[in-house]
Amino acid sequence: MIELTANCVFLLDIEGTTTSISYVTDVLFPYALNNLESHLESNWSSKQLLEDIDLLKQQSLIDVTNGLIDKPLPDNIDDLQFKSQLVSYVKKLIDGDVKCTALKKLQGHIWKDGFESGLIRGHVYDDVPKALERWANKFNCDIYIYSSGSIEAQKLHFGNTIHGNLLPQIKGHFDTTTGPKQDPKSYTKIVEAIKRNPGDVTFLTDIPQEAIAARSAGLTSIIVCRPGNKEIDSSTKEMFPTIKSFDEIEIKIK
């Protein structure tokens, strides 16, 4: 059992922490992939999609520089070849599980249709809703989410879970627009944004590199070992406390 004090702050990862990795890989990613072309056709002239395409163009320039692709997306979206090139590029990003803002925003907009139609419901582990309610309502803890998924996608996910709407217990959201999750500066930005001391914040994640980055910024890190997560080695277990369920966190009133 891990003890924390009332009025503390929780910063939660999603995939592998509140939500199974298989839900992301077997439900969300395939839905975005299978509905990519129909989403483009239905929204081609919309302002939102044009903004998504602009971000993807910028990302393609970065990927050319990094040697990930041979040439960037062309500037002219009216080019007859543009749409097919766009589809191929986005599929490459999805297949590579690239954690870039451009892809995550587009995926979030595709998932929006699925959530609103009821075809998608967000998975969370059974211990999560009870813990969020207990932490927020009984012990006055602030709960924030930090995920590579866009803020819009996060809100869709927690607003439409298999356990209902969990957004009332969540005070705020952060995504890759804040910075990479393995960069300590990202956690410093989050702490500054929520106006709390780093020592007040506990970050829960399944990724050791993220835990290290958060600890470097002064946060407390806990590794979450859910079924299907990558096995944590012994050296990581020596560095960080580990839990299998949020039920293993006990809140004490000072």
Query: Tell me, what's the pLDDT at 45?
Result: 87
Sign of CA dihedral 231, 181, 23, 3: positive
Tokens of 11: 């910063």
Residue range 134-146, pLDDT digits in tens? 999 999 999 999 9
Residue 110 CA to residue 126 CA, distance in Å, equals 26
Q: Identify the CA nearest to 109 among candidates 66, 150, 62.
A: 150
Residue 168: pLDDT band with limits 50, 70, 90 = very high
Mean pLDDT of the chain: 94
Query: Tell me, what's the pLDDT at 144?
Result: 98
Instruction: For residue 67, give the H/E element and its range.
Output: none
Query: Tell me, what's the pLDDT at 96?
Result: 86
The residue ranges of DSSP E strands in the chain, in sequence order, are: 2-5, 9-12, 142-146, 172-174, 201-205, 220-224, 242-243, 249-252
List, in order of start, the domains of the chain with CATH numbers.
2-19+123-252 (3.40.50.1000), 26-117 (1.10.720.60)
pLDDT over threshold 80, residue 50:
yes
Query: Tell me, what's the pLDDT at 75?
Result: 83
Residue range 203-228, pLDDT digits in tens? 999 999 999 999 999 999 999 999 99
